Structure 1
Amino acid sequence: MRAPYPENRCLSTLRETQGQPWSRGAIVNLWDGRKIAPILDFDLPEFHQFRVDHSDRISISGVQEKISVRIENGKLVPTESDGQYILKPVPSMTSLGSREEVPANEHVSMQIAAQAFGIEVPPNGIVFFRDGSPAYIVKRFDRNPATGKKHRQEDFCQLSNRTQVTHGRNYKYAGSYEELGRILRRYCGAYAIEIEKLFRLIVFNYVIGNGDAHFKNFSLVPTPLGDFVLSPAYDLLNTKLHLPTESSMALDFFAGDFETEAFRQNAFYSGADFLELAMRFGMKPERAVKILQSVRSHSDKADALVRVSLLSEAARSNYVAIVRDRTRAVLMGL
């Protein structure tokens, strides 16, 4: 049986290999030095049955079903507790456009974040069920790998006491990116460093077409010194591939009803909006400009990664077109 993946390309880093599914870096970072087969020892129906059997223990959000898995005897197996990885197959929601592309989309988006934009992400990759169906897998960063004990992690809904009771059914979308900065200032002693990370992540989400970067998709984790910093980025994907008519961003840029003159004229976010956001974050203007100008070279690297990703040719072309369009918008007015 022919492998359902390219045999000369790492299923994590997308770098060329000599006929192996994992590069040396992936073996070390994703699998902790172990050689794990990219074909799972269970199939998609078993995945869904496990999820049903343990739905009271495993949190399922949005349309992306997921379960925890761990390595046992050199194989990935589903687990109720002490999970080392999160596994996400193709979503079962049939109304979602190009749903079969979701695992490869999230994978390449996370790789673009790390390799092109310099954003910290947990190790991740693509594995396959026995029928050849792909699944996205990501290493958990909220657990101690030795003990399985959960680390403290607070998302921005928790940090702002934002719930369905306080902010309604769409509570995680009720707010602005400007407000994220205020929350960050409240909790981070090294604010000047962390706000640049947040700004870069917001820029990245816009460039790749991620319209679902809401309050729960940003988190803080404690340092050994007791301070808080941004967690590694997670749940990054080009949502516009699947929902082409959705809003360009999950949150408003600014608190209240403020809009920049550029937005009123263009009807889309551009460099002027990001510079205004950076000013409200208290960033130095030259630092914001440097981050925005770097998008040009980052986008070239993103194109290269997309072209060797596991997306279909049509999805690759669409992804690249979205990135190029958003890059032009970000560079406007700088």
Structure 2
Amino acid sequence: MSLPEIKYCPSTLQPGFNTYSPPAKLILFGNRTKTVSHILPFGPPGKNPEMTREYNEKRKTISISGAQEKYSLAQIRNELKLTSERGSHILKPVPPERSERIEDMPANEHVTMQIARQIFKIKTAACGMIFFDDGSPAYITRRFDYKKDGTKYQIEDFATLMGKTEEREGYGFKYNASYEDIARMIIKYVPAAIVELINFFRMVVFNYLFANGDAHLKNFSLMESDQGDYLLSPAYDLICTALHIDDGNLALHGGLYEGDFNERSFQKYGVCTWRTFMLFAEKIGLHSAFAEKIIYRAINSVMEAEYMIDRSFLSSESKEKYKEILKERLKRLKMD
């Protein structure tokens, strides 16, 4: 695999850059003048036995939630290095599993995260594309769980908050809830609950529109703020899973709320619609004016999202498939 030609910033997708733009350097590496390369000085896992052993050693000593293989990177001046100590970044190579368009998984997560951040104004973890020395792609994200003094913020995902574990409920424990259940936890633990409920509702609409079938309990978290209270953490692991697998309407087995499949428009169309989300907003205590504004903005932002998909590092075939999936989800959301 050869090194890719870079026409857009590998983080922000801003045109006219052949490496990270100054705004991307600030968000992703902490300073606009950093000269961190978009090409790593080493190869991907499995390239050779020596490199594979090093990856395996590093993987043993880090603990980051999620099923996909992840490795810890330390930013030392202007260079990123694999580390078994406290890392500054997380590296996610192309996974070894067999799924459709698997080579595009890093670019999928990257563009979905950028759409969320730039277009939908969802607070997300800083992220970008990065490439191994043989040109193969990976996804990189900056850790947000460390304070400036080196101590960690307290973070709890919603599976933990609900007391759900694999030992108690089996392998699918993180899917055993509804999005209304998450909202109840936000109301219980967050002092400024209404603000975070608005942010949560926006994320749920986004995940539905962008066909993220992996928006489970461990992919939502509460995080300690600098003031000591709790807020939703920056969003992470946003990806159009439908680009790789044929999954359902929503990630959580309980749907938006208990009995959402009995709602009139769901009965008529067999999918979640505008009306389903408006009823969900009502059930979690969100004023209809806020909910309508969020849904309207989502619908009206699809064209801008398509432009960003066109600038992404996805293959041509995956770009077209992604836009096809997005148009189908938009059609569903506009139903009443």
TM-score bracket for the superposition, by shorter chain length: over 0.9
Quickly say closer, same or farther: Cα 1:182–1:63, change in 2 above 3 A. Answer: closer
In the superposition, relative to structure 1, how do residues 3 and 189 fare at CA in structure 2: closer, same or farther (>3 Å)?
Answer: same
Structure 1 equivalent of residue 285 of structure 2: 282
Work out which of the residue numbers 211, 217, 220 in structure 2 matches 1:218: 220
- 1:258 positional shift: 4.3
Q: Secondary structure at the match of 2:29?
A: coil
Give the C-alpha shift of residue 47 in structure 1: 5.9
The one-character-per-residue Cα deviations of 1:144-203 (angstroms, maximum 9, x if unpaired) are: 3x4443221110011111112332221000011111111111001111100010000000
Equivalent residue pairs, number: 328
1:23 aligns with 2:21: yes
Cα deviation, 1:72-100, whole Å, max 9, x if unaligned, reads: 2421101112200000010011x221110
- Regions of 4+ moved over 4 Å: 60-63
Post-superposition Cα deviations, 1:218-255, rounded to whole Å, max 9, x if no partner, equal: 00111233221100000000000000x21121113244
**Residue 293 (structure 1) aligned to one of 293, 296, 301:** 296
Shift of 1:323: 1.1
Do 2:93 and 2:139's aligned partners in 1 also have CA atoms closer than 8 Å? yes
Q: Equivalent residue of 1:198, what SS?
A: helix
State the AA in 2 paired with 1:35.
Answer: T
Mapping for residues 117-132 of structure 1, pairs under 5 Å: 117-132=120-135
Structure 1: give runs of 5+ residues left out of the alignment.
none
Q: 1:191 to 1:108 in 2, by over 3 A?
A: same
Q: How is 1:85-164 mapped onto 2 (pairs within 5 angstroms)? A: 85-93=89-97, 95-144=98-147, 146-164=148-166
2:179 is matched with: 177
Shift of 1:129: 0.5
Distance in 2 between residues matched to 1:296 and 1:150, nearest whole Å: 37
Please report the RMSD computed on the Cα atoms of aligned residues, expressed in angstroms.
1.8
Would the alpha carbon gap of residues 295 and 248 (structure 1) be closer, same or farther in structure 2, given more than 3 Å must change? Answer: same
Q: In structure 2, how many angstroms separate the alpha carbons of the residues matched to 1:197 and 1:309?
A: 26
The alpha-carbon deviation at position 122 of structure 1 amounts to 1.6
For residue 59 of structure 1, report the CA deviation from its aligned partner: 3.2
1:54 aligns with 2:54: no
Report if aligned partners of 1:69, 1:79 keep a CA contact under 8 Å in 2.
Answer: yes
Q: What SS is found at the alignment partner of 2:130?
A: strand
Give me the whole-angstrom Cα distance separating, in 2, the residues matched to 1:126 and 1:114: 15
**CA offset at residue 4 of structure 1?**
1.4
Q: Quote the Cα distance in structure 2 between the aligned partners of 1:61 and 1:188.
A: 22
Q: Name the TM-score, length of structure 2 as normaliser.
A: 0.93
1:3 positional shift = 4.0
Change (3 A) 1:241 1:68: same
- Counterparts of 2:140 and 2:59, CA distance in 1: 19
Return the offset for 1:108.
Answer: 0.2
Identity, in percent, stands at 37
Structure-1-length-normalised TM-score: 0.93
Distance 1:200 1:254 in 2: 13
